[in-house]
Structure 1
Amino acid sequence: MTEERPGGPRAWSAARKGVRSRLRLTSLRLRLVVVFGLVALTAAVSASGIAYWLNREAVLTRAQDAVLRDFAQEMQNRAGALPEHPTQDELQHTAGQMANSSQRFGVLLVARDAGGRTVYGSSGGLAGFELADVPESLRTAVNKQQKVTSANKSPYHLYWQRIVEDDTPYLVAGTRVIGGGPTGYLLKSLEPEAKDLGSLAWSLGIASGLALIGSALLAQALATTVLKPVHRLGTAARRLGEGKLDTRLRVSGTDELADLSRTFNAAAEALEKRVADMAAKEQASRRFVADMSHELRTPLTAITAVTEVLEEELDAEGGTIDPMIEPAVRLVVSETRRLNDLVENLMEVTRFDAGTARLVVDDVDVADQITACIDARAWLDAVELDAERGIHVALDPRRLDVILANLIGNALKHGGSPVRVSVRETEDAVLIAVRDHGPGIPEDVLPHVFDRFYKASASRPRSEGSGLGLSIALENAHIHGGHITAANSPDGGAVFTLCLPRDASAPAEPESRDPDGPGGRAGDGSTGKDAKGRA
């Protein structure tokens, strides 16, 4: 009979697939424990299986050899003493004597009497041992006469076979008496040996279970030891990512984890030095811009005064300026104004970069503030306002004016009139949208519109503006706790949307300057008086 043990190859393969699918979703610690457990279980099961198989063969072979040896001896001594054609009583008596041997097995003797009839003699044990209990293949082999040669000196041999009936293992064997006589069969129960082997299997199974538990505990201890440096490394990496560049790992030992800790410390030290150098250079650059802008203001004041006198002389009737040099004078006047705006914008940018920009908050009516901005720059005929009065917001009026001047001036310069300014309010914010009816913003320009000094076209390196207008507008929105977005309208034209909180009296920290700010067009440099063109 073919039996398949529980947990055979198919079940074991399926179990391993299930374990692998679950391990992918678990922590590294659990993976280590499971892997250790699987290795220990595989080793324990393999060792137990080999030990069980070797002991099983040893136990069965020992019992089997003892029975077959005793049976062969009984066949030779007792069955061989029978006449060539014995009677049934003689067979029965001899079978009983043979069954009383030290091995206690059942005996069945088969012969032909003097009349040629087949007679049987069976021992009384094992509920009547019959010829039908002997496998056909075994009977065929026992009764087959072999050719006698120098290598085979006997025409008949002893054959045996193990069978299982009603979950009980048996040993069946048979042979014939050489020189004429009965054929004998034995039937020996191997149940005692099977019980011994069952006890052995239970013992090995318990030992495997204990080995699995022990390996799991050992794996847990080893995982804790191995993963502790990994945990420290992860914590240090998070602290480094949070900006704590002085984070270092304690290094002990000479293994791979110690090498990894040394590498991390070296990388952290190099990063700290690089960031410190960059911060120092950035600070020096900001200080240079601030100092330069401050130093330029004194000579610019004098130059501006002179250019104003020259401009008045140009506009006055009967001026004394030679018409041949009038274009040069006007160029000097316009460039002086542009330089003055640039210096003012640079100083404003340095205040944002240094974090010294502050709000002077007041309660303002948004519609009145927009109207004042438009009226001060004589844009009433070019701008349409859609805003209800009564929408009050706590903000810095001067900075809101700077934002509006840049957004509206930029729309008039590059989009053309009419420019529409609309205001709508939400539960906790006010949205001011400035839309023009121009060609819109190229898609490749949108990501850079708030960059400082960004040039939308390389063929136009100069423009009337400073290139800082929209950047300053965005910074002013950030310091209020708001933001500005830029996009193209489905109906044509560009739309800049300013979102401000209703109360900027306690704004969040100004947002960092992102060189890849929200999309839109490159901004101009106007901060108040005039709306200059974009860079």
Structure 2
Amino acid sequence: MSHRQPRGPRLPAWTATLTWKAAVFITVMCCALAALLGTFVHVSVTNQTVGQAREQALDRLTEATERYEAGDRLGPGVGVDPAGLPAALRELALSGERGTMVATHESRPTMWAAGPADGHRAIAVRVDYAQGARTIDGLDRAILGSSVLAIGATLLVGAFAVTRVTRRLHLTAQVARRISRGDLDARVNDPRTKGPARHQDEVAAVAGALDTMASSLQGKLLSEQRFTADVAHELRTPLTGLHAAAELLEPGRPTELVRDRVAALRTLTEDLLEISRLDARSERVDLDAHHLAPLAERVVRVSGEGTELVVVRDVCVETDRRRLERVLGNLVANALKHGRAPVLVTVDGPVVTVRDHGDGYPDYLVEHGPQRFRTEGTSKGHGLGLTIALGQAAVLGARLTFTNASDGGAVATLRLPFEECADGDEPEGPESGT
């Protein structure tokens, strides 16, 4: 039995930003540099101050030793085994060595110098070290204050510089997201990429590469759209003649097959033309007030047997009736063709769902949406119907999603933009039915 290790506290999302990381890096580096320089200055000045006090104390100790040996009177601050002499320094003097030590005497910092006197006694000199201690303390405060000011100023300047870079990166990321959503006109237009003589940094290079990629992608897509539209348009004339010729054939099974294939080819051509118009974003909506229940009922009635309508709540929406019927008709036709009856069309306010009871949508369609003419394994694929439904829903400002029901079956959900509107078409029929 495995046990999941408890996770530590997670940092806020803003700590992952480049600005925050740069600020932390600058702060750490400034603190490390300030500590290094401050330590170096502190040690240097302390050694110099202590050295000067030590030399002064040793000079006085030499002079006091000469006076003591000559039997002269010792001056102030000089004594043999004086009170307050540090024990470690006294032991050093009794061993025949001379030494110095900084200690506190009568609540004041004092520099002691001691050496052997005679026998088991030590002669010692004390020098006031208060001025030296104040010098070192003042130096430490000055180092600390200047370090804080330097770190603050460096952090502000660094944050300003990093923010300018991250702002450009954010703009580039936003443009990339717009392009991924289909806005191929989006461009970064970084001014550093306009002049060939201007030096470009890495951010400008990325922005320029993104603009170039978007322009190339847009050109290729426009070329493909024009090719699709031209092919579909050119097919119209021979298909019209082929349809007229098929009507002149004698009745029979072969004639029915020819007419059926010609009709399928004409439908495919019209679908290709519709997709080319959707890709070119040349479609314009004709908005009017419509009740959803009667509109969905007409779609169900045209679809034939195997389709049921359930109206939970009818509303009046501002929409394009022809396009909405096209969306619902394609969804129902796809459910009847690739799923199993019954196909349920449910109207619940501004939300319309179309569900069948088949095997459900393929995983790729649920994750990435419909793809033109794609097939999975030996399946027949979904053709252009769902692609057209998705495109027309976008023209209406609606959101069309594809999921699978937990108990089986494909579910297409259309969410229409909804605001209270004046009644348009009068509701027809009951609130729910078949």
TM class by shorter chain equals: 0.7 to 0.9
In structure 1, C-alpha distance between the alignment counterparts of 2:205 and 2:189, rounded to whole Å: 11
- The alignment covers a number of residue pairs equal to 394
Amino acid across the alignment from 1:59? A
| Stretches of structure 1 lacking an aligned partner (at least 5 in a row) | 1-20, 79-97, 109-128, 145-156, 178-182, 315-325, 506-535
Amino acid across the alignment from 1:200? T
In structure 2, C-alpha distance between the alignment counterparts of 1:26 and 1:225, rounded to whole Å: 12
Which of 188, 191, 206 is the aligned partner of 1:248? 191
| 2:70 is aligned with 1:77 | yes
- Structure 1's 278 and 159: CA in aligned 2 closer, same or farther, altered over 3 A? closer
In structure 2, C-alpha distance between the alignment counterparts of 1:390 and 1:227, rounded to whole Å: 54
| 2:400 is aligned with 1:484 | yes
In structure 2, C-alpha distance between the alignment counterparts of 1:251 and 1:359, rounded to whole Å: 38
Q: How does 1:22-421 map to 2 (within 5 A)?
A: 26=20, 28=22, 32=26, 35-36=29-30, 38-67=32-61, 69-78=62-71, 98=72, 100-102=73-75, 105-107=78-80, 135=87, 138=90, 142=94, 157=96, 162=101, 164-168=104-108, 169=110, 170-176=112-118, 185-190=122-127, 192=128, 194-205=129-140, 207-209=142-144, 211-212=146-147, 215-216=150-151, 219=154, 223=158, 230=165, 234=169, 237=172, 241=176, 243-249=186-192, 261-262=200-201, 264-310=203-249, 313-314=250-251, 326-377=252-303, 379=304, 381-387=305-311, 391-421=315-345
SS of alignment partner, residue 408 of structure 2:
coil
Amino acid across the alignment from 1:105? V
Please report how far the alpha carbon of residue 103 of structure 1 lies from its aligned counterpart in structure 2 after TM superposition.
Answer: 5.6
SS of alignment partner, residue 223 of structure 2:
helix
Please report how far the alpha carbon of residue 272 of structure 1 lies from its aligned counterpart in structure 2 after TM superposition.
Answer: 3.5
- Structure 1's 375 and 306: CA in aligned 2 closer, same or farther, altered over 3 A? farther
In structure 1, C-alpha distance between the alignment counterparts of 2:105 and 2:220, rounded to whole Å: 93
Please report how far the alpha carbon of residue 328 of structure 1 lies from its aligned counterpart in structure 2 after TM superposition.
Answer: 3.8
The more displaced of 331-340 and 299-308 is 299-308
The more displaced of 301-310 and 345-354 is 301-310
- Structure 1's 502 and 214: CA in aligned 2 closer, same or farther, altered over 3 A? closer
Conserved? CA contact 2:309–2:346, under 8 Å? yes
| 2:357 is aligned with 1:437 | yes
In structure 2, C-alpha distance between the alignment counterparts of 1:365 and 1:174, rounded to whole Å: 114
Amino acid across the alignment from 2:276? T
What do residues 94-119 of structure 1 show as CA deviations (whole Å, max 9, x unaligned)? xxxx4x334652347xxxxxxxxxxx
Which residue pairs with 2:431 in the alignment?
Answer: none
Q: TM-score, normalised by structure 2?
A: 0.75
What do residues 461-485 of structure 1 show as CA deviations (whole Å, max 9, x unaligned)? 6x7x7x1111111112111111222
Conserved? CA contact 1:41–1:208, under 8 Å? no
| Larger Rg over CA atoms | 1
Please report how far the alpha carbon of residue 411 of structure 1 lies from its aligned counterpart in structure 2 after TM superposition.
Answer: 1.6
Please report how far the alpha carbon of residue 331 of structure 1 lies from its aligned counterpart in structure 2 after TM superposition.
Answer: 2.7
| Stretches of structure 2 lacking an aligned partner (at least 5 in a row) | 1-14, 179-185, 422-434
SS of alignment partner, residue 387 of structure 1:
strand
In structure 2, C-alpha distance between the alignment counterparts of 1:503 and 1:222, rounded to whole Å: 50
Conserved? CA contact 1:236–1:249, under 8 Å? no
What do residues 428-475 of structure 1 show as CA deviations (whole Å, max 9, x unaligned)? xx1112222223334345335522222233x356x7x7x111111111
In structure 2, C-alpha distance between the alignment counterparts of 1:328 and 1:268, rounded to whole Å: 60
Q: TM-score, normalised by structure 1?
A: 0.62
Amino acid across the alignment from 2:388? I
In structure 2, C-alpha distance between the alignment counterparts of 1:357 and 1:475, rounded to whole Å: 10
In structure 2, C-alpha distance between the alignment counterparts of 1:267 and 1:405, rounded to whole Å: 45
Percent pairwise identity: 24
In structure 1, C-alpha distance between the alignment counterparts of 2:41 and 2:292, rounded to whole Å: 85
In structure 1, C-alpha distance between the alignment counterparts of 2:286 and 2:280, rounded to whole Å: 18
The more displaced of 214-223 and 40-49 is 214-223
CA RMSD of aligned residues (A): 4.0
Amino acid across the alignment from 2:375? K
- Structure 1's 48 and 451: CA in aligned 2 closer, same or farther, altered over 3 A? same
In structure 2, C-alpha distance between the alignment counterparts of 1:232 and 1:133, rounded to whole Å: 67
